[in-house]
Chain A
Amino acid sequence: MRDILKIGGQEVESRLFLGTGKFSANRMIPEVVRSSGARVVTVALRRVDLEYQEENIAAYVPKECILMPNTSGARNAMEAVRIARLARAAGCGDWVKIEVIADNRYLLPDNYETIKATEILASEGFVVLPYMSPDLMAAKKLAEVGAAAVMPLGAPIGSNRGLKTRELVRILIEEIPLPIIVDAGIGRPSEAAEAMEMGAAAVLVNTAVATAGDPVAMARAFGLAVEAGRTAFLAGPGETAQYARASSPLTGFLRD
């Protein structure tokens, strides 16, 4: 039986999602994406600089990838909704990553505004992937209002600290009947593998690849790590060592 990731009714071939921010040069993006195997690539929407027109990043993303605009810059639900609609109008497709951040110190998302934005955009037919702080009740609400997946942070954006929130993410994986995609904070391929071994549906990586010495090689490492982690998860972990017991102190009395 094939192990397929399905989001918003669409099959996605790779469980590694890639962000395109912070790269030293946009022109390396096609090679990085191909090297990683990623099929979902995030982009952001920004004001055009009229003096110097930047190239359109969408042109650098391989055609077979799903372009997922994020609503970065939004500080509340209405701004996120506005950005999502603009992105869709620009021909981006229906996928959107909701990122509502009103905290500039840690860049932690506002779960409440995220839920509001998710509800509105889901009702408009978007495939909504909300980035959130791993809180079970918030995740339940997101599922209720129509999110297609839930993206809890592993650690604050850009921190490359690994799965600091692993216990809470674990709970989401157990309790929420949607793909759980760990986003933010993954600094090393081993951390991506760990998230996948825990049962995450996918991971989103940006800073760790963009700021690596050799982004193309690092992208490849992440691709392999995600595959390794997923394969391990499906294989099922072995028993933890049991120590031998000579007696049965708790149930010995039942011996017939």
Chain B
Amino acid sequence: MLILKCSTVRIQNSEFRIQNLDPERRGDMRILINGKPTDLPERITIEDMVELKGLNPDTIVVECNMLLVKRENWAGVVLRESDSLEILSFVGGG
């Protein structure tokens, strides 16, 4: 995987932000999860977020900024300020 400063790479219609190597940037960031503002550590990946929140990765689907992120890509997607995540799972329905 190419490592570029603050640039985006298109992979299968999804935009991924690659890890920013600048060591000076740190601190919390705010994103939306299921419509609710949530604070998360900066540079956290989706995979880490799932673990942090105590979610069962086998039973959930994650959408980032309206794009589906497949489980195998969770480790490669770094969340940014103002991202909007939808975390869904199956419930009873008719």
User: Which A residues are within 8 Å of any B CB, using their own CB?
Assistant: 19-23, 26, 29, 42-48, 50, 53-54, 56-59, 67, 69-70, 72, 82, 85-87, 89-90, 92, 157, 184, 204, 206-207
Which of B34, B35, B55, B89 contacts A45 (CB under 8 A)? B89
Known: A45-B89, A48-B88. A207 touches B94 (CB 8 A): yes
Q: How far is the CB of B11 from chain A (nearest CB, A)?
A: 16
User: A48-B34, A50-B55 provided; 13 other pairs, C-beta below 8 A?
Assistant: A21-B93, A45-B61, A45-B90, A46-B90, A47-B88, A48-B89, A53-B56, A57-B90, A59-B59, A67-B90, A72-B93, A86-B61, A207-B94
The 8 closest A-B pairs by CB, nearest first: A44-B93, A19-B94, A206-B94, A56-B59, A20-B92, A90-B61, A47-B34, A21-B92
Can you identify 11 A-B contacts, CB atoms within 8 angstroms? A22-B94, A42-B94, A43-B93, A46-B90, A47-B34, A48-B88, A53-B55, A54-B89, A56-B89, A70-B93, A90-B60
Q: Does any Cβ of A come within 8 Å of B47's Cβ?
A: no
CA distance A10 to B93 in the complex (A): 23
Which chain B residues lie closer than 8 Å to A157 at the CB level?
Answer: 94
CA distance A54 to B90 in the complex (A): 9
CA distance A47 to B53 in the complex (A): 14
Which chain A residues lie closer than 8 Å to B94 at the CB level?
Answer: 19-22, 42, 44, 70, 72, 157, 184, 204, 206-207
Name which of B53, B61, B92 has the most chain A CB atoms within 10 A of its CB: B92
CA distance A45 to B68 in the complex (A): 14
CA distance A206 to B91 in the complex (A): 14
Which of B33, B70, B92 contacts A43 (CB under 8 A)? B92
Task: Evaluate contact between A89 and B93: CB separation under 8 angstroms.
Answer: no
Task: Evaluate contact between A86 and B63: CB separation under 8 angstroms.
Answer: yes
CA distance A207 to B94 in the complex (A): 8
**Residue on B with the closest CB to A18?**
B94
Task: Evaluate contact between B68 and A42: CB separation under 8 angstroms.
Answer: no
